[in-house]
């Protein structure tokens, strides 16, 4: 038998749903207007920019970006068409790598200030330092649990 959410659980869940649905759209709108990128495209470029050699195996990049390999592959194809990324294989190694081009690195540098401003305005400026630290712990705890469950379920 299903155990329904109690009032506090319902409030917590509704708050998470509101954040999950509103923040990505708000970030997409700002990034599209200022840099011609979606939030997910910026995330992929940003993750590559943080890696040694600006390269990462597609499967690892998908994991870090919290995306399916299929979704990531579509985005990398778009980034390739724009000249911001390319695919590469390394002799003797399995898998395909996504590599950030110099133009892609410049795009990340160009888009980052607007992205950080949006994150601060939409989320962090409304919190105290203590609340931000609590949110970090809660987010990491929920993310770790979600990852474990998805691995167990084969998703």
Q: 88 by DSSP, 3-state: which?
A: strand
Over residues 13-71, the pLDDT tens digits come to 999 999 999 999 999 999 999 999 999 999 999 999 999 999 999 999 998 998 999 99
Q: Which two tokens stand for residue 109?
A: 């540098």
**Burial of 68 by CB count in 10 Å (0-12 exposed, 13-18 middle, 19+ buried)?**
exposed
35, 42 contact by CB (below 8 A): yes
Give residue 154's pLDDT.
Answer: 75
Give residue 149's pLDDT.
Answer: 92
Give residue 93's pLDDT.
Answer: 67
Lowest-confidence segment of 20-24, 26-30, 91-95, 99-103 by average pLDDT: 91-95
Indicate the pTM of the whole model: 0.86
Over residues 114-154, the pLDDT tens digits come to 999 999 999 999 999 999 999 999 999 999 998 889 888 87
Q: Which two tokens stand for residue 78?
A: 């778009």
Which residues lie below 8 Å from residue 64, measured CB to CB, with a gap of 6+? 47, 56
Q: 154 by DSSP, 3-state: which?
A: coil
> Is 90's pLDDT higher than 90?
no
45, 79 contact by CB (below 8 A): yes
Q: 94 by DSSP, 3-state: which?
A: coil
What percent of the chain has pLDDT above 70? 97
Give residue 32's pLDDT.
Answer: 95
35, 110 contact by CB (below 8 A): yes
Sign of CA dihedral 129, 135, 141, 144: negative
Give residue 71's pLDDT.
Answer: 94
Q: Which two tokens stand for residue 120?
A: 């601060």
């Amino acid at each position: 038998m299903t155990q329904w959410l109690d009032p506090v659980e319902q409030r917590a869940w509704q708050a998470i749903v509101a954040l999950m649905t509103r923040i990505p759209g708000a970030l997409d709108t700002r990034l599209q207007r200022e840099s011609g990128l979606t939030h997910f495209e910026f995330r992929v470029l940003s993750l590559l920019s943080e890696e040694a050699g600006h390269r990462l195996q597609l499967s690892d990049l998908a994991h870090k970006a919290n995306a399916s390999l299929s979704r990531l592959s579509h985005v990398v194809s778009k980034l390739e068409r724009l000249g911001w990324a390319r695919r590469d294989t390394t002799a003797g190694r399995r898998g395909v790598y996504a590599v950030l081009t110099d133009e892609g690195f410049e795009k990340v540098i160009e888009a980052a200030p607007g992205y950080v401003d949006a994150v601060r305005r939409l989320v962090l400026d409304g919190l105290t330092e203590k609340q931000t630290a609590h949110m970090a712990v809660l987010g990491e705890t929920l993310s770790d649990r979600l990852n474990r469950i998805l691995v167990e379920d084969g998703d």
